[in-house]
């Protein structure tokens, strides 16, 4: 296993699965990483047919909202993100995608700098049929701020409430991600409420 693949495997091993499907996806991913170093997309759209993706999910924790864009190729409401470049560290890819697609410097202080979630998904849309192994990073956003998405990739964007999310045309795992995000935001809120002991 080369160093770039080993770094990804270490990140994947650190993800705490939220359910049986994520546990299965993590196991599948670790087996795949152990079997090959050909894990980065080399040619569009699908060489190799399974490759790594970093999602950067823009979240406003104060208003419990997520920002999604209408992805032109997939025809879905999706978080920002994209394929890792060959040898690229996933966190570096998440930073790059935030800069390229949102024009911002990513802040990973909502739930931390590790990916919150992992999925293995067969893609749909124009480039359908290959598998994306996606690491879902959470970055801080503000609902009151305007975000101008890359118009080559997105046909607009909008905020959605975590508690009332009902978009039929999104990543098939997005509802599961929101369940995990909701739990993570609850843990963060609880830790913020802890007061120091008074003697």
What pLDDT is stored for residue 125 in this prediction? Answer: 58
| Domain presence at residue 42 | yes
Torsion sign across C-alpha atoms 98, 103, 105, 110: negative
127 CB-near residues (< 8 Å, 6+ apart): 44, 45, 46, 73, 74
| Domain presence at residue 126 | yes
| Domain presence at residue 196 | no
pLDDT mean for each 10 residues of the chain (199 residues):
95 97 97 95 83 95 93 88 94 95 94 96 69 95 92 90 75 91 78 44
Which residues form the domain of 147?
A: 3-185
> Is the separation of the CB atoms in 161 and 65 below 8 Å?
yes
| Domain presence at residue 29 | yes
What pLDDT is stored for residue 196 in this prediction? Answer: 47
89 CB-near residues (< 8 Å, 6+ apart): 4, 7
| Domain presence at residue 11 | yes
CA distance 61 to 143: 9
Helix or strand holding residue 31 (H, E): helix 20-35
β pairing state of 50-60 and 131-140: parallel
What is the CATH number for 115? 3.90.79.10
What pLDDT is stored for residue 195 in this prediction? Answer: 42
- CA dihedral (99, 180, 10, 100) in degrees, to 10, reads -10
Enter the pTM of the model: 0.89
CA distance 85 to 42: 8
| Domain presence at residue 199 | no
How many distinct structural domains can be found in the chain? Answer: 1
| Domain presence at residue 58 | yes
Burial class from Cβ neighbours inside 10 Å (0-12, 13-18, 19+) for residue 44 reads: exposed
| Domain presence at residue 16 | yes
């Amino acid at each position: 296993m080369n160093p770039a693949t080993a770094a990804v495997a270490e990140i994947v091993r650190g993800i705490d699965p939220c359910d049986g499907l994520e546990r299965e996806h993590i196991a599948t991913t670790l087996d795949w990483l152990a079997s090959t170093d050909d894990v980065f997309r080399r040619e569009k759209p699908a060489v190799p047919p399974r490759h790594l993706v970093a999602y950067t999910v823009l979240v406003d924790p104060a208003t419990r909202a997520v920002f999604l864009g209408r992805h032109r190729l997939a025809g879905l409401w999706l978080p920002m993100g994209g394929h890792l470049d060959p040898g690229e560290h996933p966190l570096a890819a998440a930073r790059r995608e935030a800069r390229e697609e949102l024009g911002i410097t990513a802040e990973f202080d909502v739930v931390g700098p590790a990916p919150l979630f992992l999925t293995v998904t067969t893609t749909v849309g124009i480039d359908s049929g290959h598998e994306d192994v996606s690491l879902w990073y959470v970055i801080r956003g503000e609902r009151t701020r305007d975000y101008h998405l890359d118009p080559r990739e997105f046909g607009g964007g909008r905020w959605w409430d975590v508690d009332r999310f009902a978009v039929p045309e999104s990543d098939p795992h997005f509802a599961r991600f929101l369940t995990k995000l909701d739990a993570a935001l609850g843990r963060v809120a609880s830790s913020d409420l802890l007061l120091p002991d008074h003697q």
